[in-house]
Amino acid sequence: MKLIIQMPCFNEAETLEIALTALPREVEGFDSVEWLIIDDGSTDATIEVAKRCGVDHVVQHMGNKGLAVAFMTGIENCLKQGADVIINTDADNQYDASNIPDLVKPILKKKSEMVIGARPISTIEHFSPAKKFLQKLGSWVVRGASKTNIPDAPSGFRAISKSAAQKLMVFSEYTYTLETIIQAGQKDISICSVPVNVNDDLRPSRLVKSIPSYIQRSIFTIIRIFVIYRPFRFFLTIGSSLMLVGFLISVRYMYFYLFESGNGHVQSLILSAILIMMGFQTILVSFLADLLSANRKLLEDVRVKINQIIHKRED
């Protein structure tokens, strides 16, 4: 059994050595533990620090492509290196590496294929109230979209089995955390959560450059999640809402027409007709989006089968 611990990095020379020093070289249940660094176009000494600390595998991007792309690059290369279990953690030493045995335990016991480390959000001092609220909101949305029960969906500290890793495909360019959990719910990947500790903050978050920016990106990410993974419900809700508003406006028009002669309320009738037509068209779009979603799932299944064949040949 091989465990590979991956770290996406972008200009992490100042914190990388601290994070790597904390990583284990032996974990119960595994014959070997290897480290893999994904350098996402760093312009500092990230690679030099990684090699000096004895990292087994270094993968480089030609330019900064973002955290989500770096995560998937790491997953693909871990599979190529024969990983049976993959640990993803941050290069800023946010997560306590001593919890790694706790993360892999459900996978080793065949109780789960993906394990998310749940941070004590409410007690983390360097998290602002707004960030804590958004963390909880994001987790709530993911639970609703994925039908899972993960308390800390934005956590990047997670263990992934080989079978689960082969099924993952992240579309977002911003972050992978929410989308991979929803995929787990969609693809029947068993998933659970274990409590983990966090270390002191070494640097400001790269994802949260400002609260307004984080809110904007989080909203777009959540909307995109629903469009991709719940397209029928998403467009049906919009279409039904438009038709309901149009119907209520038409009722208002009929009231004035029957009881108060209706003079001067033709605009309401026009608006009602427009909203009802828009709602009907949006509902039609929901059926088309559902068909496209089914086609995407079939293509993803084909991709998984091809990856499994490739990895068997490499083994």
Of the two residues 34 and 132, the one the predictor is more confident about is 34
d(Cα 104, Cα 85) in Å, to the nearest integer?
Answer: 8
Domain assignments of the chain as residue spans, ordered by start: 2-227, 231-314
Cβ-contact 184, 192 below 8 angstroms: no
**Sequence-distant (≥ 6) Cβ neighbours of residue 229 within 8 angstroms:** 145, 146, 182, 183, 186, 293
Ramachandran angles phi, psi of 149, nearest 5°? -130, 65
Which single residue is written with the structure tokens 């990947």?
189
d(Cα 191, Cα 276) in Å, to the nearest integer?
Answer: 42
pLDDT tens for each residue of 106-115: 999 999 999 9
Give pLDDT, residue 314. 62
| pLDDT of 27 higher than 70 | yes
Q: Specify which residues 117 forms β-bridges with.
A: 194
pLDDT tier for residue 22 given thresholds of 50, 70 and 90: very high
Please, what CATH class does the domain formed by 2-227 belong to?
alpha beta
Give pLDDT, residue 294. 85
Of the two residues 28 and 210, the one the predictor is more confident about is 28
In this prediction, residues 191-218 reach a mean pLDDT of 74
d(Cα 292, Cα 276) in Å, to the nearest integer?
Answer: 25
pLDDT tens for each residue of 243-276: 999 999 988 888 887 777 656 678 888 899 999 9
Give pLDDT, residue 194. 94
pLDDT tens for each residue of 79-103: 989 899 999 999 888 899 999 999 9
Q: What mean pLDDT is reported for the chain? A: 85
What percentage of the chain has pLDDT greater than the value 70?
87
**DSSP secondary structure letters along the chain:** -EEEEEEEESS-HHHHHHHHHHS-S--TT-SEEEEEEEE-S--SSHHHHHHHTT-SEEEE-SS---HHHHHHHHHHHHHHTT-SEEEE--TT--B-GGGHHHHHHHHHTTS-SEEEEE--GGG-TTS-HHHHHHHHHHHHHHHHHH----S-TT---EEEEHHHHTT-----SS-SHHHHHHHHHHTT--EEEEE--B----S--SS-S-HHHHHHHHHHHHHHHHHHHSHHHHHHHHHHHHHHHHHHHHHHHHHHHHHSTTTT-HHHHHHHHHHHHHHHHHHHHHHHHHHHHHHHHHHHHHHHHHHHHHHHHH-
CA angle 180, 181, 183 (to 5 degrees): 65
Amino acid at 9: C
Give pLDDT, residue 143. 75
- Range with top average pLDDT, 113-127, 206-220, 287-301: 287-301
Give pLDDT, residue 274. 94
pLDDT tier for residue 170 given thresholds of 50, 70 and 90: confident
Give pLDDT, residue 260. 73
Give pLDDT, residue 185. 81
For residue 179 the two structure tokens come to: 């989308």
Largest CA distance in the chain: 85
- Give per-residue burial for 68-81: e unless 16+ CB within 10 Å, then b: bbbbbbbbebbbeb
| pLDDT of 187 higher than 90 | no
Give pLDDT, residue 236. 94
